[in-house]
Amino acid sequence: MSNSPPRSQPPLAAPPGGAAASLGRPGGSSERLVQLEVLRYNPDTDTEARFQRYEVVCQEEWVVLDALNKIKADIDPTLNYRWSCHMAVCGSCGMMINGEPKLSCHAFLREYEGVIRVEPLAHFPVERDLVTAPDDFMEKLKRVKPYVIPKEKKPISEGEYKQTPAQLMKFRQYSMCINCMLCYAACPQYGLTPTFIGPAALTLAHRYNLDSRDGGRKERQEIVATHEGVWECTFVGACSEVCPAHVDPASALQQMKITSSIDWIVEHLIPGGKSARDTVSREDAGDIS
Amino acid sequence: MAKSHKPVVWFPFAAGGTVIAFFIPVIVLLTFLAALGHVPPGLSYERMHAFAGSGLGKLIIFGVVALSLWSSAHRLRCTCFDFGLRADTLAATVLYIAAIAGSLLSAVYLLQI
């Protein structure tokens, strides 16, 4: 692939105030000339990232992802970014848009004026252009065991693990995470302390802890209750503000701080109080793959 | 990885946060009203002094002051950290000592009433 930077766009003569020009189209949806400043980085040729300005005619009701797709189709096929569903479900298209972590399929152009700055998700290593490496999050996700660890195993012949609607509602909100990692890009603690397990992974741990079919909380506490677990969080709350699925990770972490504190009191201040580690039986710890 | 002992500082912080949220705005409002000469009925100096003189009153006032100070100290420590001040041990030591000193002073003052 040729890596010479595309020069299809001459330097723009921005209108006064940087506002993008609106081209009204009577009777139909209006078009608008949108200016995007996109961070470009090619590891094969670039020593550092740079911004590239694009100017593209968009429909007023489009989202930033549409503008990027139009750029890729018509102006610059070398632009790299991830996306899949275009409906805020898959969580692939997270980027920094004007400095804020957003799903680009959910960032409506009508909410922006002037030049829209598009960068890869903060706090993650950039692989190319807007594509980041999610490896750190994936590794942390595995560590919190985000799956049901049954309280008691039973053979399939005994039927399903039943749950009432009320039991479902206890954790449903926390199960809506789409792993888009916007909360990691928003979290100042993760930016400062990369070993922090982080909002989404801890919230998923909480989701399974709250599940009536689950008995794995003691195991997860080995990660959750460490300094790099919930205790690195200082309740800034940015995670909950940027979450496109309204999961509210900040509330999950606060609830886990309370239960972890109660655990600590039981383990250290109540005579005969069992530590969480003691109560994990060998069987439970070993039989879930 | 060992489990953290952070609950030691976090539990009083959380309790203090609750106290600050529920009591401090009311106390600030009442203090301002009193300073401006509008003492609400039932909160006269004599009654408040008698309240502070009782054992339960002392305990409640000390609880409000100590927990609020501890919560503020811990919040300030976290804020320092959030702003990138990496000297966490120093910030924690200075702020917690200030909170403990303030709590002790309030205890000494309350015991003199």
Q: In degrees rounded to 5, what are phi and psi of residue A210?
A: -85, -5
Query: In a 10 Å sphere around its CB, with 0-12 CB exposed, 13-18 middle and 19+ buried, how is residue A23 labelled?
Result: exposed
> What is the model's pLDDT at position A28?
59
* Alpha-carbon gap, residue B76 to B9, rounded angstroms: 13
Per-residue confidence band for B40, with pLDDT thresholds at 50, 70 and 90: confident
Q: Residue range B95-101: average pLDDT? A: 97
**B76, closest residue in chain A (CA to CA):** A234
- Pick B22 or A4 by higher pLDDT: B22
Q: Which residues of A touch B78 (CB under 8 A)?
A: 234-235
Domain assignment of residue B18, yes or no: yes
The count of domains in chain B is 1
Q: Residue range A29-55: average pLDDT? A: 95
Contact of A225 with chain B, judged by CB distance below 8 Å, is answered with yes
> What is the model's pLDDT at position A178?
97
Segment A166-219, tens digit of pLDDT = 999 999 999 999 999 999 999 999 998 999 999 999 999 999 999 999 999 999
Q: Which residues of A touch B1 (CB under 8 A)?
A: 222-223, 226-228
Mode of pairing for the β-strands spanning A22-23 and A31-40: antiparallel
Segment A122-142, tens digit of pLDDT = 999 999 999 999 999 999 999
Let me know: does A104 contact A66? Beta carbons within 8 Å: no
Mode of pairing for the β-strands spanning A126-128 and A131-132: antiparallel
Q: Which domain holds residue B107?
A: 11-112
Segment A7-25, tens digit of pLDDT = 444 444 444 434 444 444 4
Domains and CATH numbers, chain A: 16-132 (3.10.20.30), 135-286 (1.10.1060.10)
Nearest to A227 among B4, B8, B82 (CB): B4
- Pick A239 or B80 by higher pLDDT: A239
User: What sign does the CA torsion over A96, A98, A101, A104 have?
Assistant: negative
> What is the model's pLDDT at position A36?
98
Q: Is the pLDDT of residue A272 over 90?
A: no
Domain assignment of residue B61, yes or no: yes
Domain assignment of residue B3, yes or no: no
Domain assignment of residue B99, yes or no: yes
Give the distance from residue B2's alpha carbon to the nearest chain A alpha carbon, in angstroms: 6
> What is the model's pLDDT at position A275?
54
Segment B74-83, tens digit of pLDDT = 999 988 987 8
User: Amino acid letter at A221?
Assistant: Q
User: Amino acid letter at A220?
Assistant: R
- Pick B21 or A27 by higher pLDDT: B21
Is the whole model's pTM more than 0.90, yes or no? no
Enter the DSSP assignment of A158.
G
| A260 contacts B7? CB cut-off 8 A | yes
Nearest to B7 among A188, A223, A261 (CB): A261
Domain assignment of residue B107, yes or no: yes
* Alpha-carbon gap, residue A32 to A34, rounded angstroms: 6
Segment (H or E) for A77: none
**B7, closest residue in chain A (CA to CA):** A261
| B78 contacts A264? CB cut-off 8 A | no
Give the orientation angle of helix B88-112 with respect to helix B55-82, to 10 degrees. Answer: 160
Per-residue confidence band for A274, with pLDDT thresholds at 50, 70 and 90: low
The complex's ipTM works out to: 0.75
Q: Residue range A214-242: average pLDDT? A: 95
Query: In a 10 Å sphere around its CB, with 0-12 CB exposed, 13-18 middle and 19+ buried, how is residue B100 labelled?
Result: middle
Helix (H, G, I), strand (E, B) or coil at A279: helix
C-alpha to C-alpha distances, A3 to A56, A131, A224, B60, B91, nearest whole angstrom = 22, 16, 44, 71, 49
User: Amino acid letter at A111?
Assistant: E
- Pick A267 or A2 by higher pLDDT: A267
Segment A89-121, tens digit of pLDDT = 999 999 999 999 999 999 999 999 999 999 999
> What is the model's pLDDT at position A29?
72
Return the CATH number at B57: 1.20.1300.10
